[in-house]
Amino acid sequence: MSGATSGGSTPQSLVINEAAQALRDGRLVAFPTETVYGLGADARNPQAIQKVFTTKGRPSNHPLIVHIASPGQIDQAQIDWVSVLAPWARDISEDALKLIQAFWPGPLTLVFKKDKRVLSEITGGQDTVAIRSPAHPIAQELLQQFQGGVVAPSANRFGKVSPTSAADVRSEFEDNADVLVIDGGDCEVGIESTIVDVSNGDRAILLRPGVITPKEILAKTGVQVYSPGEVADTNVHPESLPRVSGSLKAHYAPTTPLRLYAPGRVLDALTEFPDTKSRVAVAVWDSESSLGDDGHPSVQLEEVEVPSDSNAFASRLYRTLRDLDEQGWDLILFPEPPAGEEWDGVRDRLQRACFGSGPSFRSHDSN
């Protein structure tokens, strides 16, 4: 696999020019976004898109997100987003434009009715398409150089822990010479974007939580975002909502078994898994005192501090999971995230990671 870095003797602009040409040539480019590293391909090239699915081992009916450049305008309010989105989306509502003006570029993906030119390989055969404009400067420069849409799911094997550094990407695809990697340092946000469905025009629906919460959206735009459960009593049925990335029950998962424990209940979590061997990594809040000796003599516990601030926790979640997964523990225990919307994104990722974790996680897919 060829690696390009933003440091050293190669100026970053040359690296990005090379990457944009690689995309035009139908190759895959792994690049940093503010959320996680994406595995990018030309969104107009069916063969390149197929490479994304094959390289990741991703089911072909699983839709992809199209990443687009934000026009280089100082004043967001002056950007004509309708014409920017025209090649990809139709029926763009006033509410959608409010969300775009408030949060793009940024970790918010919007689902629209798709334009007829959008390839069905991207949408999983649906009549909707998911789009975002990432905030990372390298991602923006690459998209502007390429001058087109780029599909970019997380740059890792399907179902596994998402990568937040170039080294993570290289370790995932070390046997693949067709992936060009741009090193843009560590990702700031650390979990995938919030996804909101704006395709039916009259109400916005949360399809995947992230660091941008419905509360923040309401405060900044006045747009009410509903959960799928809240719209069940109207003409929108949750099962008819678009399928989106990261919505499978098992996802973001380490090979080591991962479980959540309730406050003060580490011992309960251990006794619940009697087949667990002796070495257990326990994540503890940085705001709490050490677990101390919890009276489980046959288990060697090692504590790992995790931030009690939701954004800091999100930023370090995948890094921590990857590092612990490589250290050969028999079990990883994480504290249940507190109640509150700002924790919904990491709660979602941890629950899916727990369900998919362990060496035999592929067997969960059919359950």
pLDDT in tens, 91-122: 999 999 999 999 999 999 999 999 999 999 99
Distance from C-alpha of 248 to C-alpha of 12, rounded to nearest angstrom: 36
Total domain count, the chain: 2
Indicate whether 220 and 285 sit together in one domain: no
Q: What is the CATH number of the domain that holds 67?
A: 3.90.870.10
pLDDT of the residue at 189? 98
Indicate whether 85 and 208 sit together in one domain: yes
Final residue of a structural domain among 240, 272, 294:
240
Indicate whether 210 and 329 sit together in one domain: no
Q: In degrees rounded to 5, what are phi and psi of residue 169?
A: -65, -45
pLDDT of the residue at 174? 87
Could you tell me the two tokens for 170?
Answer: 């290289």
**Helix, strand and coil in the chain, % to nearest 5:** 35, 20, 45
DSSP label at 69?
A: P
Mean pLDDT check: name the lowest of 158-172, 230-244, 250-264, 321-335: 230-244
Classify 346 as helix, strand or coil.
helix
Label residue 365 by pLDDT band (50, 70, 90).
very low
Label residue 300 by pLDDT band (50, 70, 90).
confident
Indicate whether 352 and 312 sit together in one domain: yes
Q: Please calculate the CA angle 195-197-201 and round it to the nearest 5 degrees.
A: 155
Model confidence over 267-286: pLDDT tens digits?
787 877 666 567 899 999 99
Model confidence over 172-206: pLDDT tens digits?
998 888 899 999 999 999 999 999 999 987 899 99
Model confidence over 68-96: pLDDT tens digits?
999 876 566 678 899 999 999 999 999 99
pLDDT of the residue at 360? 58
pTM, rounded to two decimals = 0.91
Partners of 335 in the beta sheet?
A: 261
pLDDT of the residue at 363? 38
